[in-house]
Amino acid sequence: MLNIALPKGRLGNQVAGLLRNCGLEADLSDLGRRLTVEDPAAGIRYFLVKPWDVPVYVESGVADLGATGRDTLLESRADIYELLDLGLGRCRMAVAGMPNTPLSGRLRVATKYPVIAREYFSARVADARFIKLSGSVELAPILGLSDVIVDIVETGATLRANGLEVLADILPVSARLVANKASCKFKEKEIEALLEPMAQACAKEREVVA
């Protein structure tokens, strides 16, 4: 049995759609309160977990595979394989703040991603201080909690609505198929059998977008 951890919400549904395009019965649309669903014919069990927890489930070996955003993956520092760029949920990690805020000197940075933010600013700013927030990060510079924020930006609409703008791009973000390292040794055939059609489905999806 191959165990796959999927993030709850929009990204999870998109990945389930991709799996269905590969011929799998990955219907997660009407689960009610259930958090697992099995496809016995394909030998696959899906778990629905919080997006931040996908790397934890995969690294611990409870899930053999998982789908998660690159932002979550980098922030978790999980020791897992990143086998495929699924191309879903494309956005970017960026520094944002009030227009013309200088990215130098002493800087207070509010973010949900302190690991990524620290890595970015460590080589650029002499004295950066980090404030970990859980949500509504855009409020921090408006209320004076921080000078800038580091967050994912999709269209920039929320930033603009709050009088903020992107000051610097950090990295592009999209969903990745990740795998437990030990599972890749002992369930190699099952994982390879899934990987090839998924890569093809991703390529097809990109063609449609292009």
Both tokens of 132, joined, read 């970990």
Q: Which of these ranges, 56-64, 96-104, 110-118, 152-160, lies near other proteins under the rule CB under 8 A?
A: 56-64
Handedness of CA 59, 62, 65, 71 (dihedral sign): negative
Contacts of 191 (CB under 8 A, 6+ apart): 2, 64, 65, 179, 183, 184
Please report whether residue 59 would count as binding other proteins according to CB under 8 A: yes
Please report whether residue 56 would count as binding other proteins according to CB under 8 A: yes
- The C-alpha atoms of residue 75 and residue 118 are separated, in whole angstroms, by 10
The mark string for 149-188 relative to other proteins (x by CB under 8 A, - otherwise) is ---------------------------x--xxxx-xxx-x
CB of 83 to other proteins, least distance (A): 6
CB of 168 to other proteins, least distance (A): 17
CA dihedral of 6, 50, 77, 17, whole degrees rounded to 10: 20
The mark string for 80-119 relative to other proteins (x by CB under 8 A, - otherwise) is xxxxxx----------------------------------
- CA-wise closest residue to 51 among 86, 114, 9: 9
Interface residues toward other proteins, by CB under 8 A: 56, 59-62, 77, 79-85, 176, 179-182, 184-186, 188, 192
